[in-house]
Each structure stands twice: as C-alpha cells, then as structure tokens.
Amino acid sequence: MKILLIGGHGTIGKRVAAAFAGTHELITAGRNSGDVRVDLASEASIEAMFQQLGSVDACICTAGTGYYGDFHTVRQADLMPGIEGKLLGQVNLVLIGQRYLAASGSFTLTSGIAAEHPARNGAAVAMLNGALNSFVLAAAQELRHGQRINVVSPGLVEDSRERYGALFPGYNLVPMPKLVNAYILSVQGAVNGKILKVYS
C-alpha cells in the first residue's frame, strides 16, 4: 500500500512509521520534516500535498496539539491554533483527501482520551478531541467507493510520560506497541467509523 503519514516524526508518528515502513510504501509529511511539507492549518497546503502525491491507499494523521491552561483565563486566541491545526487540519485531510484516496482506502485520524476524561486545565483539548470523534462517526456514513475512516484515541502514552505526565496524574500509561496496533487495525483491518480507544 501507498501510505501517507502526517506527523511521522512525532512521538506517536515515529512508532507508527516504523510499523509500516518495512512492508509498505510510506510517505511522511510534516510542517518542518518528512518527505513532503504540509501545514495542516492551510487548506491550500493540504491540497498541494495531495496534488504532489496523487492517489494514496491510506492517510494517517498523528500530528496536532492543543492548549492547556487555566479555564478561567483561556480565550479564543488560545484555542485557535488547536482548532486550525489539530481539528480543522484533520477534517480537511478528509474533505480534500477523499478525492485522492483510492477506492477501499482508509483515513486514520488521532484524537485522545481527553474527549471522555479531560485533565485539569484541558477543556480546549477535550473540545478538539470530542469534535474529531464526532466528525469521524459522521464522515463514515458519507464516504464513497468503499473508503473507510476511523480515529485512534490514545491515553497517556509511555513515550510522552516525561512531557505530559504531570498533566495527567493517576492516568495509566499506554504501551506503545498496543497503541500502534490500533493504527494497524484501522489501516489493514475492515473497521469503519470507529473510535479506537487505547487508554491503558
């Protein structure tokens, strides 16, 4: 398969890349790294990426972050980078990419545990993740030609313990191989319209 992975050099992305690189044609994309460049906050950049690559059999996105901050002081300006990048960026990968995705191809987006179990000061991230989950449930009903879409919802992953562990006290760590298996299931399995939760 020809697999496009956006965010292939990130914490989760590099593990997903390693799982697919040996047996598939893997193309990585990112704002500052990868085989091709893409800015998820720009529709034009996403369109240009797909035009450059042509048809793909699978599109995976592990890129995008959100804002953590005091709920009582958060403002729209704090929310917009996550909305434009993680949320609308992944939505636009599907809305634009459906024209470039092969018949029976798949989209795999990434949300997170905050959709159901928000951390303190994480209302912005909870909003992004919940919206992505809902979008996938709806998009699965609309895609044509056997195309599929799922979203992987990770908990606190092992490789992010040092960076994010303090934000998620008491959360169980997710083993990286278990998380990677959710992406493999989405791409190589038959599941469609699923929120693949990997919380422990």
Indicate whether 164 pLDDT > 90. Answer: no
The model's pLDDT over 16-41, given as tens digits with 9 standing for 90+, comes to 999 999 899 999 999 999 999 999 99
Look up the CATH number of the domain holding residue 38: 3.40.50.720
The Cα 115–Cα 126 span in angstroms is 5
The reported pLDDT for the residue numbered 180 is: 98
Give the angle subtended at the CA of 76 by the CAs of 48 and 114, to the nearest 5°: 80
pLDDT level of residue 195 (50, 70, 90 thresholds): very high
Picking from 53, 80, 57, the residue whose alpha carbon sits closest to that of residue 147 is 57
* Number of domains making up the chain: 1
Q: Using H for helix, E for strand and C for coil, what is the string for 96-142?
A: HHCCCEEEEEEEEEECCHHHCCCCCCCHHHHHHHHHHHHHHHHHHHH
The Cα 139–Cα 17 span in angstroms is 25
Give the angle subtended at the CA of 193 by the CAs of 17 and 52, to the nearest 5°: 45
Q: Which two tokens stand for residue 75?
A: 């403002």
Give the angle subtended at the CA of 144 by the CAs of 188 and 64, to the nearest 5°: 60
Residue 106 bridge partners (DSSP): 58, 148
Containing structural domain, residue 90: 2-198
pTM listed for this prediction: 0.96
Query: In 2-87, which residue ranges form alpha helices assigned H by DSSP?
Result: 13-21, 43-53, 76-82
DSSP state of 171: P
The model's pLDDT over 139-148, given as tens digits with 9 standing for 90+, comes to 999 999 999 9
